[in-house]
Amino acid sequence: MAALELLGCLIAVVSIWMFASAHRQHAQLTEVPTFSNAHHRQQQRQHVLYVDDKIYRGEEISDMIRGALSFPSDHQLRFRPGSLAISSVETVQHCYVDMNLYKEHFDQLFAVQVSVSEKYKVIYRNIPKSASSSSRKVMQDYFDGKDTRMKHYQLNAYVLKQNYTLISFIRDPLDRFYSSYDEAFLRMGPWWGSESVAKEKPALYKHYISNKHKVARYPYLYEGMKTIDDFRKAYCPKNLLEQKDGHLQCVESDTIDDSSLTRRFEQFVQDYDGSKPFDNHLRLQVPFLVYNFRSNGAPLPVSAIYNASEANAGWRTIAGEKGVIIPNDGMSHGRKSSRRFNVDLVSDVTKRKICQILALDYCCLNLELPDVCKSADKDSEVYCSLEQKTVKDQKGEQYDKVVIQSHRSYS
């Protein structure tokens, strides 16, 4: 009898231990993880750590980036684009660019194209389709700036040792993509391969011949178009084309595209994976703010980043800091032109695909997604992550760094 009672006690103890062990395992799977340097702060923030069961709040990620909150090195913490409580400059400094995916978004040269004002110690980094034309003109007209290329060590020396201010302008990625494609379509049309262009505009001819293989992946883009007049008929009102030099007014007129050009655009977006732009204007913005793949994607020492849609205000801020006077009517507004394809006809499905193509810009520039791209389907929404990676500096030396990455739901 005593032996049976002892056996019963042993069974009860084992059962309790197994239940407690299973409960601990379940708790490990379901408990909200918290990471903090201070336990009381950890408890205070635990209830707001997630937007939902997978996505972290930008405030928490920002604290981890700045070191105010410790980061778990073996985790990948997801967050939404534009949710960080830090500037675009700071976000870029922590951006990780997958060089295998984005290699063709970079210049193959060691030198960076900039406009430099030695008089006012300002360096402007050009990003196409982000107030670049007006910004270069401002540098030239009011800052005595000159266009040039600077090698990486030179740029670092100017900013870090000689106290130059390195600035740039960025634009809403979706809006910029429309303009970028519009420009790229014009620049890569088959009309640039004609003999007359070769004689009259040899630089444009050479550009087209050197890059036409890139656009050959999308044969439908220029179907039925052999000359630039064929293209103009698709977007420019007939009454303008019938006037002498009327085509010059086409860029200021609303497009008459009845979906012919828009269908080509949407087909291109469907087929394009974002890795091999067929023209410089289709390159993402982030690659203009980090050194190229030869330097392991290290960030440029950017001092300030301004909104291209408010370029006038941005330049006046810079001018005020440098003691430069820009007259009230002294700024041009870049190339003002209507888009040739009809953006109003672009479907929401296409817009969401574009946002995925542009995930790197949204995450590494800390820009909020357009409402149409905030998908209810979390598996297809663009998101960003914070994680620790072993990276290389410009000298090739490895070190661990907490970085921001972009993620998208297609390959």
Listed in sequence order, the residues at least 6 apart from 76 whose beta carbon sits closer than 8 Å to its beta carbon are: 385, 386, 387
Mean pLDDT, residues 346-371 taken together: 96
State yes or no: pLDDT of 280 exceeds 70.
yes
Q: What is the 3-state secondary structure (H, E, C) of 276-332?
A: CCCCHHHCCCHHHCECCHHHCCCECCCCEEEEHHHHHHHHHHHHHHHCCCCCCCCCC
Strands 146-151 and 165-170: unpaired
State yes or no: pLDDT of 372 exceeds 60.
yes
Residue boundaries of the structural domains of the chain: 181-271
Q: Which residue has 């044969």 as its token pair? A: 219
Lowest mean per-residue pLDDT among 81-90, 278-287, 338-347 = 338-347
Helices (H), 39-95: 39-45, 58-66, 88-93
| Bridge partners for 305 per DSSP | 168
Q: Which helix (H) or strand (E) holds 168?
A: strand 165-170
Confidence of residue 409 (pLDDT cuts 50, 70, 90): low
State yes or no: pLDDT of 23 exceeds 90.
no
State yes or no: pLDDT of 19 exceeds 50.
no
State yes or no: pLDDT of 230 exceeds 60.
yes
CA dihedral over 357, 360, 362, 363, signed as positive or negative:
positive
Q: What per-residue confidence (pLDDT) applies to 368? A: 96
Mean pLDDT, residues 314-324 taken together: 96
Listed in sequence order, the residues at least 6 apart from 46 whose beta carbon sits closer than 8 Å to its beta carbon are: 32, 34
Q: pLDDT per residue over 284-312, tens digit each?
A: 999 999 987 666 678 999 999 999 999 99
State yes or no: pLDDT of 389 exceeds 60.
yes
Q: Say if CB 9 and CB 17 are below 8 A apart.
A: no
Tokens of 371: 């409402």
Q: pLDDT per residue over 148-200, tens digit each?
A: 999 988 999 999 999 999 999 999 999 999 999 999 999 999 999 998 998 99
Tokens of 59: 């405030």
Rounding to the nearest 10 degrees, give the CA dihedral for residues 78, 301, 283, 335. 120
State yes or no: pLDDT of 259 exceeds 80.
yes
Residues in the chain: 411
Strands 77-79 and 55-56: parallel
Q: Which residue has 């239940």 as its token pair? A: 19
Distance separating alpha carbons of residues 13 and 25, to the nearest angstrom: 18
Mean pLDDT, residues 97-115 taken together: 88
Distance separating alpha carbons of residues 365 and 409, to the nearest angstrom: 20
Lowest mean per-residue pLDDT among 24-28, 61-65, 161-165, 354-358 = 24-28
Q: What per-residue confidence (pLDDT) applies to 377? A: 64
Identify which has the larger pLDDT, 297 or 22. 297
Q: Is 332 exposed, middle or buried (0-12, 13-18, 19+ CB in 10 A)?
A: middle
State yes or no: pLDDT of 404 exceeds 90.
yes
Confidence of residue 333 (pLDDT cuts 50, 70, 90): low
Lowest mean per-residue pLDDT among 53-62, 133-142, 154-163, 283-292 = 53-62
Q: What per-residue confidence (pLDDT) applies to 295? A: 63
Q: What is the mean pLDDT of the chain?
A: 84
Q: What per-residue confidence (pLDDT) applies to 378? A: 63
Nearest residue to 113 via CA among 149, 145, 153: 149
Q: What per-residue confidence (pLDDT) applies to 49? A: 37
State yes or no: pLDDT of 46 exceeds 70.
no
Lowest mean per-residue pLDDT among 27-31, 108-112, 274-278, 355-359 = 27-31
State yes or no: pLDDT of 39 exceeds 80.
no
Identify which has the larger pLDDT, 342 or 294. 342
Nearest residue to 215 via CA among 247, 234, 193: 193
Look up the pTM and report it. 0.84
